[in-house]
Every structure is written in structure tokens, then in C-alpha cells.
A = this chain, B = another copy of it.
Amino acid sequence: MSTAEVLASVDIVALRLNEQAELELLLIRRAQAPFEQQWALPGVLVNGRCQDLSLEAAACRALASKARVEPRYLEQVATVGNGTRDPRGWSISTFYLALLQPDTVLQGEDLCFVALSAVLDGSLGLPFDHGQLVAQAFERLGGKSVYTSLPLYLLAPRFTVTEALGAFQACLGQAVQHTTLRGRLERMKQQGWIAETGEKNYPRMGRPQNLLEHQARSDAAFIFDRSVLS
């Protein structure tokens, strides 16, 4: 590669909630050098040879062809670029935050989920600067979760208040009063973002839970006019 070229890639930070309402990160085992066989973020190179119509299309290609999952939400986070992040030379990476359904199943031995916390606290290192990308994507998720309904995209379309509470707490990293969340969901209901199904979910113990339905609109999240306070 001549020094005039730039290595441009799109990488995906795909998250899902596990049964314990903890966030997990999707990784792929790299098939090619550099860092061959290591677990890293799924991504693709973008250049004139690919017929991607746009960067977003390239992100969808990475999700479909590499991660082989379909996200409920996709958002561009940022772009990093410098001469040291890739051993091959000056490179830039535009990275996306993808939110997956909790029941997402992986197709292939080269894919796995790991605890997001392990990546964030450094106990699980990633090649390139992927650890930083993950941190920045999670920061975006947490920041938006303060005043939007973004965590609902980590749930199935039909969900309970308890599940929603787990999603918000995982994104925010702190406890949230369930009454606060109920108030917010109520406001979303009035504006048509959420509907009561009338059905109930019967857990092993305790009173049954109302099943709500989240009708997502064009990958956007509901914006509340106040923040969840510390």
C-alpha cells in the first residue's frame, strides 16, 4: 500500500442483554492478518471496489455478512483515524452502535458474545483500538439512555416493565426507580410509541406482569424532556 492511501473500515459494536440483564458484546474471530485468529469487532473495509451505496450500507453489510445478525437499532457513533491504530499504516474506522434482541443466536463458531464489563475494565483486551471504540459506543448508549428510550431497543418488541427496568439499568450503570420508568412509559403510551397488549406474562412467582408492545419508529428513540437524575 502506498503512503498516499488510507485504509478505511467500518466496525460494529453490537450489544445484547443476557438473561441476567447484563450487556454482552458481539465479537468475531479474525480470519486474516493482522491479529489473525484473535477475537475482535466485526467490520469491513470500504473502498471503491465495494459497491456499498453508503457508509451505513457498509455497516449493514458488516452486520449481515460478518456478524450474521439483524439489529433492532443502528447508529453511527464516531470516526477515529491515526497512523498507529493499525500496523498496516494510517487508517480510519467509522464505528456503529448496534442493539440486538435478547434472543439473538449466533450462527458459526467464529462468533461469540462476551461480557461488556470485561472489555470495559480491560480484563479482556481487544486488538487494534477496539477497546476504545467499545468504550466510546457504550458512553454514547449511556448518555442517550439518560433522556431517551434507547434501551427499549435491547428488548423484544413485546416486553414487561421489569425487563425495561433491567435494560435501562444496564445502559445507565445505576439503579432506576421503577415509578420513574413507569411514568416515562406512560408518556410514550400516550404518544403512540407503546401499546398495552392486554396480555400478561406469568413468572414463577408473584403477580403477573403486563405485556407492553414497543412499536419502534424508523430507528429513532423517544426523547424525554428531563434527564434521569443521579
Contact = CB atoms under 8 A, between A and B. Distances in A.
Interface string A55-94: 1001000000000000000001011111100000110101
Interface stretch (A1-9, A98-106, A193-201): A1-9
B47 A90 contact: yes
A3 B6 CA distance: 13
Contacts of A53: 82-83
A113 interface: no
Contacts of A48: 1-6, 83, 89-90
A50 B5 CA distance: 11
A226 interface: yes
B94 A4 contact: no
Given A55-B80, A55-B81, 15 more contacts: A3-B47, A5-B6, A6-B8, A8-B8, A8-B92, A48-B89, A54-B80, A54-B81, A54-B82, A79-B94, A94-B94, A147-B227, A225-B229, A226-B226, A226-B227
A88 to B, nearest CB: 10
Contacts of A76: 78-79
A5 B53 CA distance: 16
Contact of A82 (B47, B55, B80, B225): B55
A14 to B, nearest CB: 19
Nearest to A228: B225
Contacts of A79: 55, 76, 78-79, 94
A217 interface: no
A2 B55 CA distance: 19
Contact of A46 (B78, B81, B225): B81
A226 to B, nearest CB: 5
Contacts of A47: 3-6, 90
